[in-house]
């Protein structure tokens, strides 16, 4: 069956350092979304990637979708304390009628 791993599970960085989280799938994905959840909050949509090799930027955030559409990453340049939270990738899962399912998430903590 389809398996998607999100790594790392947890990362603690110094403010100003960069941060990257990855989602790696065993099968080709039709698209992938990224969400951010602040501590105690709810997931908030960040972006959707659809095309092979797609790269999108939102200020200090860079999102990539691999050429084979099996991998995706979210990179934050020069982290700030406002970046703290859990970052999730999400994708249509064929085992559940293409419903949106989520990765385990990467928890980001930033030391100031």
Partner 1 sequence: NAGVTQTPKFQVLKTGQSMTLQCAQDMNHEYMSWYRQDPGMGLRLIHYSVGAGITDQGEVPNGYNVSRSTTEDFPLRLLSAAPSQTSVYFCASSYSSPTLTEAFFGQGTRLTVV
Task: Please give the residue ranges that form the binding site for partner 1 (CB under 8 A).
Answer: 6, 9, 30-31, 33, 41-45, 48, 88, 90-93, 96-105
- DSSP letters, 30-42, are S-EEEEEE-TTS-
Closest contact distance (angstroms) between CB of 64 and partner 1 is: 19
76 vs 90, beta carbon nearer partner 1: 90
Select 65 or 88, whichever has its Cβ closest to partner 1. 88
- Phi-psi region at 6: left, alpha or beta (left = phi > 0; alpha = psi -120 to 50): beta
24 vs 77, beta carbon nearer partner 1: 24
Closest-CA residue to 44 (of 55, 34, 53, 54): 34
Give min distance, CB of 95 to partner 1, in A: 8
Dist CA 64 CA 22 (whole Å): 10
Q: How far is the CB of 25 from partner 1 (least distance, A)?
A: 14
Q: Can you tell me the distance from the alpha carbon of 35 to that of 111, in angstroms, rounded to the nearest whole number?
A: 22
Judged by beta carbon, residue 17 or residue 102, the one nearer partner 1 is 102
């Amino acid at each position: 069956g389809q398996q998607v791993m999100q790594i790392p599970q947890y990362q603690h960085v110094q403010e100003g350092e960069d941060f990257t989280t990855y989602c790696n799938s065993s099968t080709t994905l039709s698209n992938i979304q990224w969400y951010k959840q602040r501590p105690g909050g709810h997931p908030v949509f960040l972006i959707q990637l659809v095309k092979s090799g797609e790269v999108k930027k939102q200020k200090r955030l860079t999102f990539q979708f691999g050429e084979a559409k099996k991998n995706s990453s979210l990179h934050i340049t020069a982290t700030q304390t406002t970046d703290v939270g859990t970052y999730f990738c999400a994708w249509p899962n064929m085992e559940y009628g293409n419903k949106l399912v989520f990765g385990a998430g990467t928890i980001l903590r930033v030391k100031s």
